[in-house]
Amino acid sequence: MLDGVNVALGVTGSIAAVKTVELAHELRRRGASVRAVTTSAAENSPTTTDRGPPPRSSGGYSSAAPALSPSTTALGAGVPVVVAPAMHEPMYDHPGVLDAIDRVESWGVDFVDPRVEEGKAKIATEDAIALATARAATPDPLADDRVVVTSGATTESVDPIRTLSNRASGKTGRAVARACYLRGADVTVVRDGGEDLPYASVESVESAAEMLAATLDAVGDADALVSAAAVSDYTVERRDSKIRSGQESLTLELEPTPKLVDGVRESHPDLPIVGFKTETGGDDDDIVAAARDLLDRAEMAFVVGNDASVMELADDD
């Protein structure tokens, strides 16, 4: 992700300076060659002196938006600048700080939003900062584009306790969304719940109907849709109370769900759509034929055909 990228780490005198070592490790793990640039306050900070000085080989952030000492120097160097602020939440919410962030962003500086927890605007995770750094250093053919990605499985409720779903992990959708973000896109992920993603806004859904509705809403001003979710093909009428156990047999009547890509294509005839088709049996000709059928039916840009057995091996890694 950061192979061949030289990163200068600007560290100011914030308590967040203690994260320098972890951030350095993460950036180096992703291939960056980096070097620290510290203010005198950072060098004398208890958070750094207690653990030794900031490393000479590390990754980069500046810890407070109003105090941009290392980053201000970088502004004249003609290189991308990424700032990850950290402070108490009341300070972060102060109009003066917000105005300063807006002004610096207008100069082309990228900010990584802090994590607001326990009344503090804590520095973003190492993953979020590394992603922002990679995005700033990566060619951006998707700049100014909005990409919507569906990801993971959908779940159909049988009763208040039981559900029907599938084995999709969402790894493919997340990987696609991350790759689009790194290349400059504004990404929205429609997914089956889970935590927030540092590289995309998230619309959480559960059922196939919810995913269709959320996707139709999200693609209103999108430039492309990547349909990587494993959407349930069938649903069932939900019982209001739990189905009692102990019955000798039980029959559930399944009804087909609307096809997500067909619904999107009907309402957005010119939207580029990328799809995925998973088949069992392992016959390449059958997989290709099924992928071509989907390609033609929904007039997609292209379709990726997958063998389910290969995907199961990948999920086990």
Contact 101, 85 (CB under 8 A): yes
Q: Which amino acid is at 122?
A: K
Cα separation, 79 vs 81, whole angstroms: 6
Cα separation, 18 vs 206, whole angstroms: 39
For the chain, domains (ranges, CATH) are 6-137 (3.40.50.1950), 146-316 (3.40.50.10300)
Q: What is the dihedral of CA 314, 307, 233, 301, to 10 degrees?
A: 100
Q: Model's pTM, two decimal places? A: 0.82
- pLDDT tens for the chain, 317 residues: list them: 899 999 988 888 777 778 888 998 999 999 999 888 888 777 776 554 444 544 433 333 333 333 344 455 677 778 899 999 888 888 889 999 999 999 989 988 999 999 888 888 888 999 999 999 999 999 999 999 999 999 999 999 999 999 999 989 999 999 999 999 999 999 999 999 878 899 999 999 999 999 999 999 999 999 999 999 999 999 999 999 999 999 999 999 999 999 999 999 999 999 999 999 998 877 899 999 999 999 999 999 999 998 888 765 445 44
Contacts of 284 (CB under 8 A, 6+ apart): none
Joined together, the tokens standing for residue 4 give 């061949």
Return the exposure string of 23-32: e unless at least 16 CB atoms fall within 10 Å of the residue's CB, then b.
bbebbbebeb
Which secondary-structure segment (H or E) carries 82? Answer: strand 82-83
